[in-house]
Chain A
Amino acid sequence: MEKIVDKIKICIQCGICSSSCPLNFAMDIPMRKLIGLIKAGYTKEVLKSRTFWLCLSCYFCKVRCPKKIDLTHIMYNLHEICLKQNILPENKITLQIYKAFIKVVNIFGRNFEPLMFFLSLYKFPKKFLRFLPLGIFFLKRKRIHLLPYKIKDSENLKKILKEAESIEI
């Protein structure tokens, strides 16, 4: 968190981040306020917010910020801080999608969409049923590989992924 505070010290609270964000309308705390709250030390409120969980990584805020603050990177960091403190997002499906993606990549070394999709939604039957017709439509329209491809060095990749967790950056 201290690292983030350092990065946003130069923020002038102009609000261009909020006005650029495509999901600003869905956020409980707009970006500008979120940055203000971090600056003022309201860490608890910040981490409880759904704002950064809605970040789409579209980089609009970053390229428009007059102070060139890498806001997208800060949104990334806030996810990690939350998970370390076991603060979970209001929208459970979002986190489940992320975890499913990471799981699939850990097994195969690559993403395999159909499995990722299943792992993301099988715990949420209502949502799953809503997406089923879309999935079928997709299968009909596209020529897709139905079996996942495992990279040759997948075992080693899994090992070094684990090892990377212990380095300091």
Chain B
Amino acid sequence: MKYTYYPGCSLKSTEIGYEDSLKSSCEVLGIELKEVLDWNCCGATIFPKLSYKSYLLLSTRNLALAEIYGEDLVTACNGCLNALNRANFYLQDNKNVLEKINGVLEKVGLNYHGKIKVRHFLEVIVKDVGEKSIKEKIKKGIHGIKVVSYYGCLYSRPFSSEDPQNPYYLETLLKILGAEIIDFPSKTNCCGGILTISEENCLKLIKDILEEAQKSKADCIVTICPLCHINLQLYQKRIKIFMPIVYFTQLLGYSLGIEISKLGKDIFSLKGLLK
């Protein structure tokens, strides 16, 4: 299986463990990832607020670069998934804007034809790799670990093949790996995003999520987005609720028999539980 890979800024700067575990899992699963050459920031949710045109340009440059490879574009960050998808659909609906953006991009030798599909890595694992092939490659499994799956907002909203308010691919995957799934109604709640820095009110959102996970007696919260992961981890001391937060790729990698040292530090918080 071949895919074009868009890591996004977080996976290259602060969330190296996420990328490490993702790449090593891909190797075991036989997924070939080709990183987009010289990609730039997707614009996130910040550029569209201050300048929608700049945002469109940033995302379209990435889409144009990715189009050269001809495969589906995959990312493991909800923010990037949303930004790239939003630009992609917007330009498909507004061909006149695409022309204008292409007019600017042509000056650096790029052109986007609107033919690419942007997907989350989770969807690729569950849909394309599938239960059967994952089960064949599982070496350890994570039996007995109680997990709640937290998607955050931008995985399923507003563009997704899943239910925008009740996605289930993460639970599907964790079940395959042998984890005990605990129902988590807050799974697509917002973590506060970047505004956690400036708005104290956002801490309430994080508190609600952590509190619910704690009440459900889960061993850890499984995330699929670097920003959710950081927010849930960083403010625990201030909120005074302590709960291990791990990436789904870390549990996947562990199950596939990858050495724990290659999966990033977060998984160490589960060491007592892993056999």
Contacts and interface: CB of A to CB of B under 8 A. Distances in A.
A108 to B, nearest CB: 8
Interface string A139-169: 0011111001101110011011101110111
Most chain A beta-carbon neighbours within 10 Å: one of B41, B43, B56, B190:
B41
Interface in B23-68: 38-41, 43-54, 56-58, 61
Interface string B103-121: 1110110000000000000
A151 B9 CA distance: 11
Interface stretch (A7-15, A18-26, A35-43): A18-26
Given A137-B234, A143-B265, A77 B52 contact: yes
Interface string B235-271: 1011000000000000000000000000011000000
Interface stretch (B133-141, B152-160, B172-180, B212-220): B152-160
B124 interface: no
A148 B12 CA distance: 9
A143 B17 contact: yes
* Main SS class of interface, B: helix
A79 B107 contact: no
A26 B38 CA distance: 40
Contacts of B198: 91, 93-94, 96-97, 120, 127
Given A113-B14, A169-B56, 20 more contacts: A22-B190, A54-B195, A54-B201, A57-B48, A57-B153, A57-B154, A59-B82, A77-B52, A93-B198, A97-B198, A102-B54, A111-B41, A134-B235, A141-B233, A144-B13, A145-B14, A151-B39, A151-B40, A160-B61, A169-B52
Interface of B: 9-10, 12-17, 38-41, 43-54, 56-58, 61, 82, 94, 97, 100-101, 103-105, 107-108, 153-154, 157-158, 164-165, 189-190, 192-195, 197-199, 201-202, 204-205, 230, 233-235, 237-238, 264-265
